[in-house]
Amino acid sequence: MLGLEMVVLLGVALVACGALASRYPIAPAILLVVAGVLIGFVPHLRHAHLPPEIILLVFLPALLFWESLTTSLREIRNNLRVVVLTSTALVVVTAGAVAATAHYVLGMAWGPAWVLGAALAPTDATAVGVLARNLPRRTVTTLRAESLVNDGTALVLYGLAVGVTVGEEHLTGLHVTWLVVLSYGGGVLAGGLVGLLSWQIRRRMDDPMLEGIAILVTPFAAFLAAESIEASGVLAVVACGLFLSQVAPRITGAATRHLVVPFWSLATTVLSSALFVLIGLEAQSAFRNLSSESMGRALLDILLVAAVVIGVRWVWTYTTPYAIRTVDRRPAQWARRVSARQRTVSAAAGFRGAVSLAAILAVPRTLESGAPFPDRDLIVLIACGVIMLSLLQALLLPAIVRFARLPADDSVAEEIQLAEVFTLDAAIEAIDDTALELGVGDLVTARVRHELDKQRRLVKAAGVDGDPVVEHHGQYTSLSLALLARRRDALVQLRDERRIDDIVLRQVQARLDIEEIRFSRTAPPE
């Protein structure tokens, strides 16, 4: 019954935290962490823990795949240098700084110190996506791309640190180089091959349900393929997702998207929310058995390591760009520079989450000799505390965004208008030839042409405040939605009077739902 109780409690926590977040300016992730801490006070539930293998093999592939599918490859290319540096060099610097602090200040041996540093070095794609989604596109894309790639770097360091500490690895320059090459090269190659295979299979499918299942299997296949050659499963999933994000629009039909997108949105929301609850539960568990004296020492250790993790990112943000500027003075790079104020947002968005938690929980309990892993309990305790403190930065993010005075980002709206006008022009240009091919009559062709012309005028006028055409469109949408509600009431009345059965009701209701979704998505913003 414990599993069922946890499922019910988790569902209640997700709904309650979502409702609170909609009413108060608090990030849902923080509320979920608090909910996890509170659940840990229930004696019957405090021993409920999720195995780290589940996080690594189930949660991460699904979450990272959806994040990579929904990010912008163009923006990653435009900010490639920043992404590469933050996802490799910054990870190594952060891990090294934490390891040095743990060794010289906290008294850990170098092996466990590097385990702690590697686990806390990467930012979390899920946390970044949830907590920073309303930032300008360039900022969000750079942060998401960094957090998608830096997991691979961190897990290589983590594997080396654990292997050396346990006694399974011997640290040599050649060995480290080979592991890095295998992790990155093998991961990208495995992800690309699985993505190519998925593309070839899906392009031959015409059943949305089967294609949806194929999409569901893809990230786990990419992760498994990489792990089977001891490469980075994380990078394999990311590479696979980025590849499919480019080819999927040519092979995926509307019916499949209508099925897959809501499923993945719901599933990833539940998975990411569950991870935040798990962070709170693990943190509460780590603190539970401390005495008052050890509690004070542990809090100081957590604050010190958190200060190092956060401080390294701030120092990096305000040093490396200026060092690069002295070398790269191309006009194109001048145009992409941002002010010191605007950099505060990136500096404050270094949230830690699922990867750090999974890595810490996966630390073995014993060495190869059978002795206990040095300072394992302290490592888990510090990591859980630092993850929570990093998430608390989200409370300051709105104020930091106001301080940064980020310029208004109208590029997305402008590109949406460009895309809609361009596609409508293409349809209008092709209407006569297409109608002739299909044998469509003149009256129907004239009606479709009128609808396309009306849509084009509305799109062209969308950027003009108070435009009567836009106002007309809003009234048209509101009236159509209200009449759809009346049609739905009439449909239910027919069923209640037993003039139609439930099967007919569901079929007609599905058509009305499609119309409602269409009108809701095209409604002008209020």
CA distance 222 to 310: 32
Give Cα 26 distance to the centre of its chain: 19
pLDDT the model gives residue 122: 92
Dihedral over Cα of 356, 357, 358, 359: its sign:
positive
Higher pLDDT among residues 394 and 219, named by residue: 219
Please name the residue that has the structure tokens 């592939």: 61
pLDDT the model gives residue 18: 85
Give Cα separations from 408 to 2, 109, 390, 413 (angstroms). Answer: 49, 49, 27, 11
CA distance 261 to 246: 16
Dihedral over Cα of 61, 66, 72, 74: its sign:
positive
CA distance 478 to 324: 53
Let me know: does 245 contact 198? Beta carbons within 8 Å. Answer: no
Least confident window among 172-186, 216-230, 298-312: 172-186
Rounded to an integer, the average pLDDT of 470-485 is 73
For the cut 70, the answer to whether the pLDDT of residue 523 exceeds it is no
Higher pLDDT among residues 7 and 93, named by residue: 93
Let me know: does 31 contact 20? Beta carbons within 8 Å. Answer: yes
pLDDT tens digits for 190-218?
999 999 999 999 999 989 999 999 999 99
Least confident window among 347-361, 484-498, 511-525: 511-525
pLDDT tens digits for 119-172?
999 998 767 766 666 677 778 888 888 888 888 888 888 888 888 888 766 666
Give Cα separations from 210 to 214, 217, 260 (angstroms). Answer: 6, 11, 11
CA distance 460 to 447: 20
Q: Which domains does the chain have, with CATH numbers?
A: 2-409 (1.20.1530.20), 412-522 (no CATH)
Q: What is the mean pLDDT of the chain?
A: 84
CA distance 156 to 337: 32
Burial 182-212 (b: 16+ CB within 10 A, else e): bbbebbbbbbbbbbebbbeebeebeebeebb
Task: Give start and end residues of each alpha helix (H) in 369-467.
Answer: 376-392, 397-404, 411-438, 442-460
Q: What is the three-class DSSP state of 105?
A: coil
Listed residue (73, 128, 130, 57) closest to 244, CA to CA: 73
Let me know: does 261 contact 521? Beta carbons within 8 Å. Answer: no
Q: How confident is the model at residue 70 (pLDDT cuts 50, 70, 90)?
A: confident
- Axis-axis angle for helices 2-23, 28-39 (nearest 10): 140
Residue 337 CB coordination number (10 Å): 10
Q: How confident is the model at residue 2 (pLDDT cuts 50, 70, 90)?
A: low
What contacts 233, CB < 8 A, 6 or more positions away?
A: 56, 60, 61, 187, 222, 223, 224, 226, 227
Rounded to an integer, the average pLDDT of 336-363 is 83
pLDDT the model gives residue 230: 86
For the cut 60, the answer to whether the pLDDT of residue 407 exceeds it is yes
For the cut 80, the answer to whether the pLDDT of residue 14 exceeds it is yes
Let me know: does 236 contact 190? Beta carbons within 8 Å. Answer: yes
pLDDT the model gives residue 134: 64
Please name the residue that has the structure tokens 């998608």: 148
Give Cα separations from 404 to 12, 130, 339, 340 (angstroms). Answer: 36, 20, 9, 8
pLDDT tens digits for 359-403?
888 888 888 778 888 888 889 889 988 998 998 888 888 888 888
pLDDT the model gives residue 463: 53
The amino acid present at 107, given as its one-letter code, is G
CA distance 263 to 269: 10
Please name the residue that has the structure tokens 């780290």: 52
Residue 519 CB coordination number (10 Å): 16
373: DSSP letter:
P
For the cut 70, the answer to whether the pLDDT of residue 333 exceeds it is no
